[in-house]
Amino acid sequence: MSKSILPRLVRAILLSAALPLGAQAAAPAPRLDFSPEQWELARSVARQPGLAAWYGSTALAPVFTAPEAAPRRIALIEAAAQAPVHGLPSIYGVEQLQGLEGRTDPEAEVTFAKAFARWTHDVGGGILDPRRVDPENKRDVIRVPTEELLARFVAAPDPAAMLAQVPPQNDGYRALQQALAARVGPVVGADVPTVPEGVWREGMRDEAVARLRARLAAMGFAAEGAEADLFDAPLARQVAAYQARAGLGPDGVAGPRTIQRLNGGPGSAPRDLLIALERMRWLNGHDLNARLIWVNLPEFNVRVMEGGRTVFESRAVIGKDKEGWRTPEFSDELQNVVVNPSWNVPRSMALRDYLPRLQKNRHAVAHLDVVDSRGRVVARDGIDFSRYTAKNFPYRLRQKPSDDNALGEVKFIFPNPMNIYLHDTPSKGLFGERTRAFSNGCIRVQKPVDLAHVLLEGAAADPAATYAGARESGRERFLKTEPLPVHLVYLTTIADEDGTIRHFPDVYGRDDAVWTALQKAGGMETLASTR
């Protein structure tokens, strides 16, 4: 890089990092009397905005190669070495970082800095961008800027403790980590024998039981027992504990699947856990211990959670597994409970299902009003529906509040560009189905009135009476709630509140796309086969 470019480069770094946008034009030129080492550092970080912002704001002062920086280097090396514990591939150059110990040159500084940026990015918000993985995923990951993380890191009296706070700090994520450890490790030494195939249960006595006991103990599930070859009650409890942690049915019987997992066979590949951990990292930045609405789409379930515990639960119906109908993933904030709602037919549905019927008979679907752009109901006799196509149809279709309204008696609004919300439904029979993917994209709730009562707590002195009064009015009524986060998530593998791992059908087939992207990110296929 030429000398004429370098001053402009450093100036750009310093201005972009240290000043608000509005102040940059009037700012004086920064000092340009930097050492050759600082020029090298500037050139190396110029194309990484977060690092450029940090080093620009600190006049290119070193973070990892300063005299007092040894604890920072050690902390980063130790944190990045824990990548497999988080279900991340070992791609953070730990061995290279270890080889740089004691060096104070710009190359060492930049290598550590780039490792810091990549590690905190991946463990703090996921190695993938969910919107790029799947166009039906509308989630925006809340990522802490690299320069802000570096500021915390430098200021921290304990750099290791600071880095430990970057990954998700919730029980669900930790339980998935523990399940991963139970599935692939800790690595069992070669001196620990595998368990022979068979079905081993309480009351049996065999040399294989002694092997089972030893292997469980090596994996952190030690069972007290006077006789090693006797399958006693303490051993059954530890088998069940291992099964729960590994995502198996915790029946306390060591059958083929349990033995296969214990021995590290083909069934031990933790694809499901790696996907779940990545999806949970996408939620980092949201306080999952706050009071919130949690809709896990593959579970067909709506919960109100508080402090990580369920305070309300209801079955749900989600969007059909069809193009344009599948319920997206995103987070938003509840604003209103709408009693006696009108139903504004989604435009895609109006064009696909109703316009052809209106073209054949203008008085078809009589339960729907035709509404113009000003919100006025238009008489059908004055409309020639044959003139219109999907591109130029100028009307909306709306159903007034009624007992057979498609939204039932209540809906729950968290405004979003996809026009997705929770609502009641007159089609109650669908809640009895095991796989409940029948809607046009919104989420139908089996117990909507009970949900309304729960959500009005804190905003109304008597939630039930407030709701009943609005309902009896017969008019559409908007009831204000306290702001409440809403999370529409897609977790086919999840940890229950007691840490038990549960699995649900991949109803939309979204896990394959995440898994393919994880493998492309590097090293996942190796991690998945690790035992």
Distinct helix (H) and strand (E) counts, the chain: 21, 14
Whole-angstrom distance, CA of residue 493 vs CA of residue 473: 44
> What confidence tens digit (pLDDT) does each residue in 479-523 have?
999 999 999 999 999 998 888 888 899 999 999 999 999 988 875
> What confidence tens digit (pLDDT) does each residue in 12-44 have?
554 444 444 343 444 344 555 678 888 889 898
Of 449, 451, 432, 430, nearest to 440 (Cα)? 430
Check whether 310 has a pLDDT greater than 80. yes
pLDDT confidence of residue 8: 46
The chain-wide mean pLDDT, for the chain, equals 88
> What confidence tens digit (pLDDT) does each residue in 61-90 have?
999 999 999 999 999 999 999 998 999 998
Mean pLDDT of 338-360: 91
Is there a contact between 171 and 495 (Cβ–Cβ < 8 Å)?
yes
Is there a contact between 264 and 188 (Cβ–Cβ < 8 Å)?
yes
Query: Which string of DSSP letters, residue by residue, matches 357-422?
Result: HHHH-TTSSTTSEEE-TTS-B--GGG--GGG--TTT---EEEE-S-TT-TTTTEEEE---TT---E
Cα distances from 367 to residues 177, 252, 466, in angstroms, run 52, 57, 29
Check whether 113 has a pLDDT greater than 90. yes
Instruction: Determine which of 92-106, 247-261, 386-400 has the lowest per-residue pLDDT on average.
Output: 247-261
Split at pLDDT 50, 70, 90, the class of 524 is low
DSSP 490: -
Q: How long is the chain?
A: 531
Check whether 252 has a pLDDT greater than 90. yes
pLDDT confidence of residue 179: 86
pLDDT confidence of residue 262: 85
Split at pLDDT 50, 70, 90, the class of 244 is confident
Whole-angstrom distance, CA of residue 97 vs CA of residue 108: 8
Extract the tokens encoding 378.
């238009």
pLDDT confidence of residue 526: 44
Which residues have CB under 8 Å from 64's CB, separation 6+? 72, 73, 76, 108, 109, 112, 113, 116
Residues acting as catalytic residues? 423, 442
Which residues have CB under 8 Å from 482's CB, separation 6+? 458, 459
Which residues have CB under 8 Å from 91's CB, separation 6+? 83, 118, 521, 522, 523
Mean pLDDT of 332-344: 94
pLDDT confidence of residue 185: 54
Split at pLDDT 50, 70, 90, the class of 171 is very high
Check whether 103 has a pLDDT greater than 60. yes
Cα distances from 141 to residues 56, 137, 145, 286, 439, in angstroms, run 26, 11, 12, 9, 27
**Any idea of the CA torsion for 58, 62, 68, 72, to the nearest 10 degrees?**
100
Cα distances from 323 to residues 136, 137, 508, in angstroms, run 10, 13, 10
